[in-house]
Every structure is written in C-alpha cells, then in structure tokens.
C-alpha cells in the first residue's frame, strides 16, 4: 500500500538466497512496478535494476612481471576499485613479500586513479629464490 505521497517502500528478504561472504555471488535485483490510476484507468509502468554482489572492492595487480633481476628494483602497481568499477582514491593497500622464511608487509596509498605504485629492493633475492607477492586491502 502506498503512503499519502504516493510512495511505496518494501524490504526484500535475501536470506532465502544464502548470500554470505563465503559464497561469491553477483546478480541483479529487478523491481517492476505497475500503477493504475483510480477513476481513469490510466496505467503507469516502471522497472529499476540494482546490482547485488559479494565483492565490495577489487584489488588488481597491474604490470604483473613474473621475473625479476637480483639487484634491480622491481616496480609494480596495484589498482583498487569499488564493486561498480570506480577507482578508490586515497585508500590504503598492502603488499606482503614472502622471501625464504621471511615476510615483509608494506603499506601504500592509492592516487586519484585508484592506483598505488610500489618499488621493491631485490638485492637480497638470489637467482634461484622463490619470491611471492600478496596484495590485500583493508575493509572499506
């Protein structure tokens, strides 16, 4: 039932869809409204769509070079975007470097385009060393 201003609000129970953060999901919720004017029989129809996703943000590694040269700085970029793809500026992102049995985490700040640039010192890395990089973000 509409209120006196002609507005209607409703709550959609999403529990039946089992929307938990452990499940990765993405779909759209479509609302369809039909209104018939009393007395004239004039009918109005409207449809609106809302995207629903488990992804709040996306952190992407740009320029992902899988090779490094010991002693030569390793450069890279991380891009942080919202669920709608908009860049998130001035946000903290983290990059953890795993080398041998050590781990080191650095914090970077994204620029106006949602990109954080980083440079890693490779001088302690040797030719046969396995080095892993793991980017992560804080909850926004």
Distance (Å, rounded) from C-alpha 53 to C-alpha 50?
10
* Whole-model pTM over 0.75: no
Burial code (b: 16+ CB inside 10 Å, e: under 16) for 34-43 equals eeeeeeeeee
Beta-bridged to residue 30, according to DSSP, are: 49
SS3 17: helix
Which strand (E) or helix (H) includes residue 33?
strand 26-36
Distance (Å, rounded) from C-alpha 127 to C-alpha 136?
26
pLDDT the model gives residue 114: 94
Domain 57-137 has CATH 3.90.1150.10: no
Residues 34-43: tens digit of each pLDDT: 888 888 888 8
Residues 36-82: tens digit of each pLDDT: 888 888 888 888 887 776 667 888 889 877 888 888 999 999 999 98
Distance (Å, rounded) from C-alpha 59 to C-alpha 140?
12
Within the chain, all domains assigned CATH 2.60.40.10 are found at 57-137
The 10 Å Cβ neighbour count of residue 125 is: 20
């Amino acid at each position: 039932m509409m209120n006196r201003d002609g507005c209607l609000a409703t709550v959609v129970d999403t529990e039946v869809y089992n929307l938990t953060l452990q499940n990765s999901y993405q779909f759209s919720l479509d609302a369809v409204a039909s209104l018939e004017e009393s007395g004239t029989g004039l009918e109005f129809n409207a449809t609106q769509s809302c995207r629903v996703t488990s992804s709040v943000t996306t952190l992407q590694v740009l320029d992902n070079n899988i090779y490094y040269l010991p002693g030569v700085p390793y450069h890279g970029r991380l891009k942080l975007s919202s669920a709608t793809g908009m860049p998130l500026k001035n946000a903290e992102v983290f990059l953890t470097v795993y080398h041998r049995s050590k781990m080191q985490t650095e914090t970077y700040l994204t620029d106006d385009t949602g990109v954080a640039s980083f440079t890693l010192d490779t001088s302690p890395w040797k030719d046969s060393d396995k080095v892993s990089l793991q980017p992560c973000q804080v909850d926004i």
